[in-house]
Amino acid sequence: MRYPHGVLSAVLCLGTLLFGPSAARAAAVAGPRFAALPRICVKGPLQGTSCTSPDDCQQNPCEVAFATDSSFSATVTLVVDDDVSQFDGSEDVSNVIAVTALLELRAGGRDIHAQTFQNLSGSDFDALVASLQAGPEVASNVGIGRRLDEDELNTEAASRADLVDAFLFQAGDSEFAEALRTQLRQVGTPVIVAVSRVEHFDHQGDGRASVVRVRIKGKFLMP
């Protein structure tokens, strides 16, 4: 995603990417997403009702409304290429960006769900080319779209903390979410709650796509 240097957002949930250069910025990135999650009172006479703080629950806990027994694990892979070409290596339009996301699940029957994203906006050829070169929005920060390109991916993925922060509390695109609901027999929105086993492969210098691969844990929000 292309925006001011030091800010990156990318998949998924998934819960995919918002990156940043410091712990302070990380809090500003994942924090708003976490704050925006729906909450319910978990104890007391108002148990099960929506809330924003313990004050709404007569000082009982107000917690994120995760569905019971909805935890899942998956592997997410992001492949980002800043210079997409034809199979023979030729290209009439240069610097076209594509982002491919893979979601690997074992629960409910092993499957790999994949999508390739490009920025296809524009009402004429010149506008379409400019959009393809700007790159697609593949994640969000509380409704604010974030663009991903290879340079940002490699720069920000150098910090594990920032990479983890980029994935936390993302809900992913609608088709990935539906794939998770179908395979895991759940309802509601899947959200990433933890990230581990981070791998990063920088191939920007040799002209091939760069890759980030992470293991995630997620939960479903109550419908």
Integer Cα distance of 31 and 167 in angstroms: 12
Per-residue model confidence (pLDDT) at position 16 = 35
Size of the chain in residues: 223
Per run of 10 residues, the mean pLDDT along the chain (length 223 residues) is 27 34 44 89 94 95 94 94 90 92 89 93 93 85 69 81 78 87 93 90 91 93 92
Per-residue model confidence (pLDDT) at position 12 = 36
Which ranges of 43-158 would DSSP assign to H, the alpha helix? 125-134, 150-157
Nearest to 117 by CA among 94, 156, 148, 90: 148
Integer Cα distance of 77 and 50 in angstroms: 35
Helix (H) or strand (E) holding 190: strand 190-201
Helix (H) or strand (E) holding 184: helix 174-184
Task: Say which DSSP state 222 is in.
Answer: P
Domain boundaries, the chain: 23-35+72-220
Per-residue model confidence (pLDDT) at position 142 = 52
Q: Which residue has the tokens 């994949």?
A: 114
Contact 138, 150 (CB under 8 A): no
Per-residue model confidence (pLDDT) at position 197 = 86
